[in-house]
Chain A
Amino acid sequence: MRNKRILVSTILTLLVLAIALTGCSGTKNTGSGNTGTTTSANGQGSSSEPVTLRVIAVTHSWTKDLGEIPMFNKLSEEIGVKIIWEQVRSGWDEKKNTILASGDVPDAFIGWGIKDSDISTFSNVFMPLNDLIDSYAPNITRMFKEQPDVKALATANDGNIYGLPSIIPHRPNSFNIHSINRVWLNELGLETPTTFDEYYNVLKAFKEQDPNKNNKQDEIPFDWAPERGLFTAMSMIGAYGNYAEDFSGDWTSAKDGKFVFLPETEDFRKLVSYLHKLYSEGLINQEVFTQDYSQFQAKSKDPEYEIVGSTMGWSLEDRFGSVYAKDYEVLLPLAAEKGIKPVWPAHPARTKYLSNVAQITTKNKNPEITMKWLDGFYTEEMSAQGYYGSLGVCIEKQGDKYVVLPPQDGMGADEWKWTNALVDAGLMYVSPELDKRIIAPESIAQRVAHDALYEPYFPKSEDILPILKFSKDDMNELSIIKTDILKMVDIKWAQWIIEGNIDAEWNSYLNQLESMGLSRMKEIYQKYYDEYLGK
């Protein structure tokens, strides 16, 4: 009867539901929760059965599947481990807290996933590595011995090491290059500017005299990147001879062992006034604060004309593309006035070292062999491949040198390396000596050469704020203070450059910063800086 049929079908539905809920699905993967099924008796990684390790790797979105990269497979085979990779290319921030808080962690993390704050918040998840390194990691031990500051970088406040660091090859000391259009200077018969006044005159000429010869006043004399990052006009604060930003993105710095917050200094006030003068005469991109990164990069690479006169950025090629790059050159740091020796920001620890590239979790049943495996990345051969890619595919050994091969598959050099290696997410130790023996591709070599031009202007080490490690509670407190303060600074930086009036508002601005907790912020920073110096 119909009634019965309907009843039966409803019951069947509920049955399906129930079955599904008890998780009898056949597609359930076998990899989850499966750690260390075979433990070799003495943890020496005997070649009997490979130990299975579950690893989460947070990589660049260009990076191919790690299981398809020859150097990693070779390493796993040598050590006697089988890696089950879970690779995250996007959305890691959204997942991270859930994975760490739920305890659903793998045996190890590799790449960009974990920061100091994660380690201090989820202290029960990460294993201290000191003993493991001493016993099973000869290459890492060697790195620590030869480069003690990288060991300090990796050591937390409790003396333990939770995350391994890397030293990467072919790095400049400074992130930022101030560039200027040499062709335009020549066109207009101008000298390379060395002071703020000279720069002002050059920019004015760029704007008014149509150096790109298209009968339109479309030139943008000076442009910098949106957001408070690495490539902004803040790098010019050294024109007054005092401070260099520390590339933390927080506009912090140091002077003679004292913590400095740049946005409250007199030099900041003067710099902003100068920038306002430039902006008010149209010498700065009117959309410098509202453009997005795509537009910023597109302006300097417009296919029809060169539009940008001078700018900030990673390198000439990055900013102008291969077609226009040869028309530009590095602009040495400007002095606010003649007679001042300007400072150009540099932070070798940030450019050359990576921290927290690998961690072992407390869920790991085979930490010894995991450490051996991780250590395997730090041999000379693996390190040479770590940045550019596997031997035979991306890099080639010639005698005692390693030569980077040209890219394939129609990719550019950059894309090729990011596809085939972990690059800035990778584990490796490239000592200064090895660095010389890896022959860098042309564009990278050029970048390092440009960096050398800035060397006479780099700050002394007492004027570089090191990377500090805060306790969980201090970090929590700081994060709130910084969010409030930096928001105000962003607003005012933009507002004063566009509208001026900084002098009238300066005092109330300082008071505002104070009421948001600036003193407390300085106190916390100074405390940790003192501890660092004391070591």
Chain B
Amino acid sequence: MKRQNSDFVFNILNTLICIIIVISVIYPVYFVIIASISNPMSVANGNVWLYPKGFTLMGYKEIMKDSRIWAGYRNTLIYAVGGMLISMLFTMPAAYALSRKDFKARGFLMLFFTFTMFFNGGLIPTYLTVKKFHLDNTIWVMLIPFSVNVYNIIISRTFFQNNIPSELLEAAILDGCSNIQFFVKVVLPLSKAILAVISLYYIVGYWNEYFKALMYLREDKLHPLQMVLRDILIRNQAYASGQLGSGASAEGSVQQKADLVKYGVIVVSTLPIIIIYPLIQKYFEKGVMIGSLKG
């Protein structure tokens, strides 16, 4: 039958594209993994491409023996989880309110929020402001002042606008439900998909946050993982700019270690995130929410 044929072709095409995606993406990722355990000279000379050469765990040893790594992991966990919760708490209600076409302040508030995506006072005035509130060099600077990401508000708002039918609201009002009640009892349960996505975005954002920590956290003990990893990673860069006529390594081993480490760093910093994602993924299952509603 005609339909079965076209479906068949569709299937093949789809599968083909998937395979291409998987290979083209997985190869460089695979490369990073084998490079992290290979002789860095071989890697840089392009001799490593299917399997590790000159197997060595020196890179990982180098990373793990830096005691700041563990403090870094701990701090990052606090910032990521705490930050994500606070961010979600501030973001989602706002996004919902803004999704309501009958909310008169909506236009003004959207402009209010969007404007900040493009204009900001600059690094130094922001720093001075954070200082004024005594937030600098505390864990709070990582959790509060930058907790609201306007981009996420906008995406969430779009989601609410398109997936919460107005009939639901009308019915709820008839039942004597207030706005906040409606949000908490009706909207949120229906929005698992967007909640999953935005919390993922936030948690990854906090996990990767480097610059804010660099600017606002002066003490080693508050430093998140990315800062520690950056210190480790930068050992390679110092050599790269060749300003090391000053102390250029008398031996290759220092340069070697630096090169080796940069691949290991990727693995170390990314592993936790890669583990989290499949857990959140179930919220993206098709039609996971609406169906239950129609009753």
- Chain A residues with CB under 8 Å of chain B are 2-3, 6-7, 10, 13, 17, 20-23, 25, 27-29, 31-32, 60-62, 65, 86-87, 89-91, 94-95, 97-98, 101-102, 104, 175-176, 225, 227, 229-231, 247, 292-295, 297-299, 301-304, 313-315, 317-318, 320-322, 351, 412-415, 418, 423-424, 443-444, 447
Contact = CB atoms under 8 A, between A and B. Distances in A.
9 contacts: A20-B140, A102-B127, A229-B242, A298-B40, A298-B45, A318-B250, A320-B252, A412-B249, A414-B253
B240 A293 contact: yes
A230 B242 contact: yes
Given A23-B138, A299-B45, A231 B242 contact: yes
Interface stretch (B159-167, B215-223, B271-279): B215-223
A294 B40 contact: yes
Interface in B140-176: 140, 143-144
Nearest to B252: A321
B251 A317 contact: yes
Interface string B181-223: 1001000000000000000000000000001001100111010
Nearest to A56: B218
Contacts of A298: 40-41, 43-45, 259
A444 B140 CA distance: 48
B232 A322 contact: no
A294 B252 contact: no
B91 interface: no
B135 interface: yes
Given A23-B134, A230-B245, A415 B239 contact: no
Given A27-B139, A28-B138, A298-B45, A292 B240 contact: yes
A370 B190 CA distance: 64
B245 A295 contact: no
Given A423-B247, A424-B246, A443-B251, A6 B144 contact: no
Nearest to B246: A424
> Across chains A and B, which 4 residue pairs bring their CB atoms closest together, nearest first?
A23-B134, A298-B44, A321-B252, A314-B248
B231 interface: yes
A299 B259 CA distance: 14
Contacts of A447: 250
A345 to B, nearest CB: 11
A6 B180 contact: yes
B231 A89 contact: yes
B241 A227 contact: yes
Contacts of A322: 251-252
B54 interface: yes
Interface of B: 39-45, 47, 54, 89, 123-124, 127-128, 131, 133-140, 143-144, 178, 180-181, 184, 211, 214-215, 218-220, 222, 227, 230-236, 238-255, 257, 259
A292 B46 CA distance: 13
A7 B236 CA distance: 54
Nearest to B139: A27
A6 B252 contact: no
Given A25-B139, A322-B251, A314 B240 contact: no
A394 B227 CA distance: 29
B247 A444 contact: no
Contacts of A292: 240
Contact of A102 (B124, B138, B250, B255): B124
A231 to B, nearest CB: 6
Contact of A91 (B214, B240, B252): B214
Contact of A62 (B133, B219, B235): B235
Nearest to B65: A409
Contact of B247 (A65, A303, A418): A418
Contacts of B45: 295, 298-299, 302
B245 A231 contact: yes
A94 B41 contact: no
A456 B139 CA distance: 60
B133 A21 contact: yes
A27 B249 contact: no
A320 B140 CA distance: 49
A423 B254 CA distance: 15
Contact of A294 (B39, B44, B215): B44
A91 B238 CA distance: 12
A292 B137 CA distance: 36
Contacts of B135: 20-21, 23
A257 to B, nearest CB: 26
Nearest to A441: B250
Given A28-B137, A90-B234, A294-B40, A412 B127 contact: no
B247 A13 contact: no
A175 B247 CA distance: 10
A350 to B, nearest CB: 8
A87 B217 CA distance: 12
Contacts of B244: 314
B253 A415 contact: yes
Contacts of A101: 124
Given A6-B178, A231-B245, 9 more contacts: A28-B137, A97-B123, A293-B239, A295-B44, A298-B44, A302-B47, A318-B250, A320-B252, A413-B250
